[in-house]
Amino acid sequence: MKVLVLDGVEEEGLAALRAESDIEVDVRSKLTEDELVDIIADYDGMIVRSATKVTARVLEQASKLKVVGRAGVGVDNIDVAAATDKGVLVVNAPDGNTIAAAEHTIAMMMSLARNIPQASNTLRSGKWDKKSFMGVELRDKVLGIIGLGRIGAAVAKRAQGLEMKVVAYDPYLTEEKAQMLGAQLLPLDEILKMADFITCHIPLTKDSKYILGEKAFSLMKPGVRVINCARGGVVDEEALYEAMQTGKVAGAALDVFEKEPNTDSPLFAFNNFIATPHLGASTSEAQLCVACDVSLELIAALHGEFVKNAVNIPSMSPKVMATVKPYLNLAEKMGRFCAQLIDGRVNKVEVTYSGDLANQEVAPITTTLIKGFLDTILQVKVNFVNAPTLARNRGINVVQQQASGEGDYANLITVKAVSDREEISVAGTNFGKVDPRIVSIDGYHVDAIPEGHMLYVPHIDKPRIIGPVCNLIGAHDINISGMQVGRKIIGGKAVMLLNVDAPVPEETMPEIAKIDGVLSVRNVSI
Ligand SMILES: NC(=O)C1=CN([C@@H]2O[C@H](COP(=O)(O)OP(=O)(O)OC[C@H]3O[C@@H](n4cnc5c(N)ncnc54)[C@H](O)[C@@H]3O)[C@@H](O)[C@H]2O)C=CC1
Ligand SMILES: O=C(O)CCC(=O)C(=O)O
């Protein structure tokens, strides 16, 4: 497998990736979109920082690509929706650069308070000017943090060490958590009115775009200082320009811009404006950390194992992972089995969990079952990433439910598939920890190992059915390795499920179907 590494990802952090015998690492300097489009079909994985744009056009050509890794937090340079549609996993490395970004924010705040970059420039140009650079202290000042996540929390902790009063706006955080971090949660408007320093630590979303815009600046306290080390577009640069022009804002520090790279912002005209070229994560420690983290995620993803920091599939704690893992094989096989049994356009797949699974986090099992189901009927590559979207796009309503009460099995997954022609149900369980079995089809008990080639023959429960079916299969020199028959009442409908060493030839199927008492016949391959 080949992994393309761009944007100067720290070389030392790629060691784990390079150590994998089946992975070849190809480090390139920056590529244009056209260059990327030309070569991307050769790669199974890629790693970027923030410079490379992984666009829908690039992904369109990425026929082998399984995973895009972001050595950092923000994935706004990756078209995640297009990746999801294509079944490409997107992973990030959200923890490694938290301290770097928080320290950069504190450095920006101190620089704003004490005019350090400007004073340094003046001195280097030969002027010993003390008068122009009167500063302010941080002690007892109010710091307003917008977004109290990983970085916001690390900034809060450091600001308290500087004896600042920390207030925060984060509508997705509980009061208790904010209290633990030593910050008082307040509505945004109140923060804007009271803060001496305001710093943003939120992703750029449709809700957060221009969160510091014209209205916000109008509410701010005169003499406020504003910092953005999160994402360009969170601060409206035109509105900031106006607020600096009027003197409302006493200083601003931006590490990130709406358009990057940005070397000619009108804001550069203000002496009380400080800028760095998206350096928040640029420490050797952070770069090593994110490169190591993302390399491990790529190794896991390329080997089909679970990743910790997936952006476009629900993330799973190690505890949930340990619980669901033994059932994924069973679920995928059940999905495949069901899809091959049902006729017509499927519009609903209902998955019910009981026994041990009744109280577990089962969503990943459902996704795997749907993956197995769709895999057998679609030409496109189906995986854990795009299975839910593909099901939705095909009008398949996936319902997941957990049964209450005791059942006959320690764990049981029941799938009911409904089409415009029929409805079928299949139940399966794991014997021991990882030994999958189909234990019921449409309520008929069986005990079949779902693997290899199988022949499903619903029939009437009467003599001279099983023998003739087996004779016809044997006449084709096909070995039968397992057989299950299930019925509800003597002489009623019954089902027969055979494990065979090769698929029964299609031309034999009508002969089997003609046997008196056979209701239908179907090959199933797992
Ligand atoms: N300048 C740089 O080099 C770096 C920038 N970043 C950026 O910093 C930002 C924060 O990163 P983390 O703290 O790791 O993320 P995080 O996900 O841990 O925290 C984000 C916080 O923002 C809150 N939030 C989301 N939308 C909000 C809104 N509209 N209003 C208020 N709060 C909102 C969330 O509830 C969450 O608590 C990201 O955009 C990331 O890309 C991260 C690392 C380096
Ligand atoms: O990789 C970088 O330099 C930028 C980091 C960043 O912006 C992020 O992690 O969101």
94 CA distance to ligand 1 middle (Å): 10
Q: State which residues form the domain around 352.
A: 316-450
Name the residues annotated as catalytic: 231, 260, 278
Count other Cβ atoms within 10 Å, centred on residue 479. Answer: 10
* Amino acid (1-letter code) at residue 252: A
* Residue 338 resides in a domain: yes
Q: Give residue 225's pLDDT.
A: 98
Domain-embedded: residue 307: no
Q: Which residues contact 281 (CB under 8 A, 6 or more apart)?
A: 49, 72, 73, 97, 100, 101, 287, 290
Residues 222 and 194: their CA atoms lie apart, in Å, by 10
Confirm or reject: Cβ of 50 under 6 Å from ligand 2.
yes
Q: Say which CATH number the domain at 379 has.
A: 3.30.1330.90
Amino acid at 326: P
- The SS3 assignment for 249 reads strand
Residue 280 lies in a domain: no
CA gap 101, 104 in Å, rounded: 5
Q: Is the CB of 74 under 6 A from ligand 2?
A: yes
If asked whether residues 422 and 468 sit together in one domain, one would say: no
Atom of ligand 1 nearest to the CA of 231: 39
Q: From atom 40 of ligand 1, which residue's Cα is the shortest distance away?
A: 74
Q: How far from chain centre, in Å, is Cα 456? A: 38
My answer on whether 461 and 446 are in the same domain is: no
Query: What are the C-alpha distances in Å from 135 to residues 138, 144, 254?
Result: 10, 19, 19
Instruction: Give the per-residue pLDDT at 384.
Output: 85
**Ligand 1: residues within 6 Å at CB?**
72-74, 94, 97-98, 101, 146-152, 169-173, 201-203, 205, 207-208, 229-231, 255-256, 278, 280-281
Cβ(232) to ligand 2 under 6 A? no
Token duo for residue 368:
């795997």
Residues 182 and 58 in one domain: no
- CA–centroid distance, 123 to ligand 2, in Å, is 32
Query: Does residue 308 fall inside a structural domain?
Result: no
Q: Can you give the pLDDT at residue 475?
A: 94
Q: Do 290 and 245 sit in the same domain of this protein?
A: no
CATH code for position 460: 3.30.70.260
Residue 34, Cβ density class (10 Å: 0-12 exposed, 13-18 middle, ≥19 buried): exposed
- Residues lower than pLDDT 70 in the chain: none
Surface-to-core class of residue 393, CB atoms within 10 Å of its CB (0-12 exposed, 13-18 middle, 19+ buried)? exposed
| Domain identity same for 124 and 189 | yes
Say yes or no: 406 and 477 in one domain. no
**How many A from CA of 280 to the centre of ligand 2?**
7
Q: Would you state the pLDDT for residue 408?
A: 87
Residue 152 lies in a domain: yes
Both 130 and 236 in a single domain?
Answer: yes
Q: Which two tokens stand for residue 477?
A: 């020199």
Q: Does residue 444 belong to any structural domain of this protein?
A: yes
Alpha-carbon gap, residue 200 to 230, rounded angstroms: 6
**Number of folded domains that form the chain:** 4
Task: Give the single-character DSSP code of 418.
Answer: E
375 and 399 inside one domain:
yes
Q: What is the pLDDT of residue 432?
A: 83
In a domain, 310, yes or no: no
Say whether both 136 and 180 belong to one domain.
yes
Q: Give residue 85 CA to ligand 1 midpoint distance, Å.
A: 25
Domain membership flag for residue 240:
yes
Give burial (CB, 10 Å; 0-12/13-18/19+) of 172: exposed
- We report the CATH number of the domain holding residue 80 as 3.40.50.720
- Looking at the structure, do residues 264 and 154 belong to the same domain, yes or no? yes
236 C-alpha vs ligand 2 centroid, how far in Å? Answer: 20
What is the pLDDT at residue 28? 96
CA distances from 438 to 212, 338, 409, 412, 494 (A): 58, 11, 12, 10, 16
Are both 241 and 349 inside the same structural domain?
no
Closest CA to ligand 1's atom 16 = 149
Backbone φ/ψ region at 515: left (φ over 0), alpha (ψ -120 to 50), beta: beta
